[in-house]
Amino acid sequence: MTVSNLFEVSSTPLSIAGVRLNTVAAGIRKTGRVDTVVIEIAPGAAVGAVFTRNVFCAAPVEVSRQHLATTTPRLLVINAGNANAGTGVQGHRDALDVCAAAARSLGCEAAAVLPFSTGVIGQRLPAAKLVDAMPGAIAGVTDDGWEAAAKGIMTTDKVSKVASVTTACASGRYRVTGIAKGAGMIKPNMATMLAFIATDAKVEPAALQALTREIADRSFNRITIDGDTSTNDSCVLIATGQAGGPGLDASHPDWATFAQGVEHVFVELSRAIVRDGEGATKLVAVTVRGGRSEEDCLRAAYAVAESPLVKTALFASDPNWGRILAAVGRSGVPDLRIEEISISIGEVAIVAAGEPVPGYDESAVARVMETAEYEIAIAIGFGPARTTVLTCDFSFDYVRINAEYRS
């Protein structure tokens, strides 16, 4: 366990009082594959959530939004292997059938169940398999099911994604544990593919929802693998309150410390997603400063981070900085002037005032680009704004993985 000045980082997932999990094989797409996770939430918890902004959102996203508007969730049901997206009225009914079956097993109302799905779009969810799996899945929930759950929600992920911290506040020590999945179809416009984070702190519901959105914007909404926003993106933050202590909100003196611990978990999960990008070999931070607004900086950063020409150069460790310059130039940031542009990769300055730096050594940049993690730093002017977007390279395997995805 490593210690920062605000929280202790655990190398293994910490159990969260008031949250129990189980992972089973329902046979959604492949017989015998672990593909279904249930997360039971104790009564009295608060739940915050953000979802995809893709206008063609999946049926489980629609149902989860509807259920959250009526009651506090008691159970999350997550399946991999089928997105239940693009499935029309029947897909909506299938999601509701799963909720009803889960509710019967847990002994709660159907609206207290939130469904989540990930996998192939446009194929009907085999809801009967999930319905049949619910009694056993819910009967087997345990406090220490986080690692198994992280594996159970994987699709093209190569590794499971888990993060845990303990925040040491004046009012008490609060645990935070989270899991996520995602390796492709990643440009979250809310959160990420799927992420589920829980804390044993007591948090006021409105404050929890605001925190979920704010931290998602600073973490999951600053990553991209391929520029595709999924139909199923969902992020849930649960606060069980079972650690005791006061109800936290933005006015409480412990709020900043607590929020920092939660943000660490969000950031670690988002970094793990990019590091595990389909076929990725490098994690690259694209930092843009000097914009008149953060939106200006984001436009420029995403133009670079999502450029296929830039991303293939990253894979080749090729210091073809003209691709970066061109991406910034087409980003749509108003009133760009080339004489205000500068570019560095790692510690090596490449462009200053829109021109190559005198004595620029391409071989030094190539050495930086051969490393597993580095930064591309870009200045677009002299304004006050700054932001960072995480991206990865495009390798041969990205094409192979996505060409073979349904085979």
**Cα 390 to Cα 185: distance, rounded to the nearest angstrom:** 15
Amino acid, res. 248: L
Which of helix, strand or coil describes residue 211?
helix
- Show the tokens assigned to 210: 């605001």
Of 18, 22, 15, 26, give the one whose Cα is nearest residue 38. Answer: 22
Q: Which of 118, 192, 240, 387 is catalytic?
A: 192
Answer for the pair 240, 42: CB distance below 8 angstroms, yes or no: yes
Instruction: Report DSSP letters for 264-299, one per residue.
Output: HHHHHHHHHHHHT-TT---EEEEEEEEESSHHHHHH
Using CA atoms, how far residue 158 sits from 21, 81, 144, 155, in Å, is 22, 15, 22, 8
- Show the tokens assigned to 81: 């292997």
**Cα 263 to Cα 215: distance, rounded to the nearest angstrom:** 6
Answer for the pair 59, 95: CB distance below 8 angstroms, yes or no: yes
**Cα 377 to Cα 207: distance, rounded to the nearest angstrom:** 34
How many of the other CB atoms lie within 10 Å of CB of 292? 16
**Cα 125 to Cα 101: distance, rounded to the nearest angstrom:** 15
192 in catalytic set: yes
Active site residues: 192
